[in-house]
């Protein structure tokens, strides 16, 4: 007997990242499951389709719903659905001359549902990702690895269950909130329970092509692929998608 059909909704869009690349890579992983059919959007405007889906996947930067939409998304998760949120899903960005990039706290319910809000990151450089909870099936058997990615410094909205972390103490140049000298674990992957549903957040996945910083600059000097070069990242994505679709028992 064939597996039952599952519906996914995938939101992928925003600013200053290579969404074509991320969209293609994640769709390829979703297509590994012949029973998952996926609808696509660049933002959260089609909330009827999103809330009708079996699970939600997001890879966005500076894309948030309005207040009513945030409430519907929270209700969707609280009713028992799962949401795999990737990279900049928790970001709101505004550039202020003389201060740098700010993270305005204008999407409070949305960020509380996600469990965090992006605030800043230091310059991209390799950092070590550690396994916080090696007994959890989402990260069991994953060895510590080097991520050449954006290291997210976030405002957390607990309770969250941290699965992967890194450490950072220093400055986040170019951001308004740049003082991060307190040495403490920085979540890289975590679970946030909302009602009877859950959000799985994975901060890794930076991607940028040569034309993705327009209109700030005509051409970016390098193509950046971040953790997409790491087999461990693809394993985490595969596990996350199986988790979101509740396919763990079939693993």
For 11-48, what is each residue's pLDDT tens digit?
Answer: 999 999 999 999 999 999 999 999 999 999 999 999 99
Alpha-carbon gap, residue 166 to 238, rounded angstroms:
21
How high is the pLDDT of residue 250? Answer: 43
- 8 Å CB contact between 103 and 93: yes
Cα–Cα distance list, 1 to 6, 35, 105, 145, 236 (Å):
15, 12, 49, 39, 28
Alpha-carbon gap, residue 195 to 99, rounded angstroms:
38
Residue with tokens 């005509």: 218
Grouping H, G, I as helix, E, B as strand and the rest as coil, residue 152 is: coil
- 8 Å CB contact between 101 and 94: yes
pLDDT at position 1 over 90: no
User: Token digits for 42?
Assistant: 């660049």
What percentage of the chain has pLDDT greater than the value 90? 96
Q: What sign does the CA torsion over 87, 89, 95, 96 have?
A: negative
How high is the pLDDT of residue 110? Answer: 98
Class of domain 6-250: alpha beta
Query: Left, alpha or beta for 233 (phi > 0: left; psi -120 to 50: alpha)?
Result: alpha
Q: In what order do the strands lie in the sheet containing 125-131?
A: 36-41, 6-14, 55-61, 82-86, 197-202, 179-194, 161-171, 125-131, 145-149
pLDDT digits (tens, 9 = 90+) for 100-122: 999 999 999 999 999 999 999 99
Helix axes 231-244, 19-30, angle to 10 degrees: 60
pLDDT at position 249 over 70: no
User: Token digits for 157?
Assistant: 């909205």
- Give the domain ranges of the chain: 6-250
Beta strands in 42-178, from DSSP E residues, in sequence order? 55-61, 82-86, 94-96, 100-102, 116-120, 125-131, 145-149, 153-156, 161-171
Burial group, residue 224, by CB count within 10 angstroms (0-12, 13-18, 19+) = buried
- 8 Å CB contact between 2 and 43: no
Global confidence as pTM: 0.97
How many Cβ atoms are within 10 Å of 144's Cβ, its own excluded?
A: 11
How high is the pLDDT of residue 133? Answer: 97
């Amino acid at each position: 007997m064939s597996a039952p059909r599952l519906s996914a909704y995938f939101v992928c869009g925003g600013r200053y990242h290579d969404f074509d690349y991320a969209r293609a890579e994640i769709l390829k992983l979703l297509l590994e499951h012949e029973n998952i059919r996926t609808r696509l959007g660049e933002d959260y405007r089609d909330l009827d389709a999103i809330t009708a889906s079996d699970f939600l996947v997001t890879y966005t930067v500076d894309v948030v719903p309005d207040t009513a939409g945030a409430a519907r998304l929270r209700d969707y998760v609280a009713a028992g659905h799962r949401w795999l949120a990737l990279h900049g899903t928790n970001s709101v960005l505004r550039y202020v001359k003389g201060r740098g990039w700010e993270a305005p706290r204008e999407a409070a319910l949305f960020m509380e549902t996600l469990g965090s809000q992006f605030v800043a990151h230091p310059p991209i450089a390799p950092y070590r990702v550690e396994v916080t909870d090696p007994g959890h099936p989402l990260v069991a058997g994953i060895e510590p690895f080097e991520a050449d990615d954006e290291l997210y410094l976030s405002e957390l909205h607990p309770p969250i269950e941290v699965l992967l972390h890194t450490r950072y103490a220093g400055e986040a140049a170019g951001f308004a909130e740049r003082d991060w000298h307190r040495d403490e674990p920085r979540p890289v992957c975590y679970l946030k329970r909302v009602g009877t549903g859950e959000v799985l957040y994975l901060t890794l996945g930076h991607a940028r092509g040569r034309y993705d910083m327009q209109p700030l600059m005509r051409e970016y000097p390098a193509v950046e692929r971040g953790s997409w070069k790491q087999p461990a990242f693809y394993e985490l994505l595969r596990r996350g998608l199986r988790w979101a679709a509740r396919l763990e028992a079939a693993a």
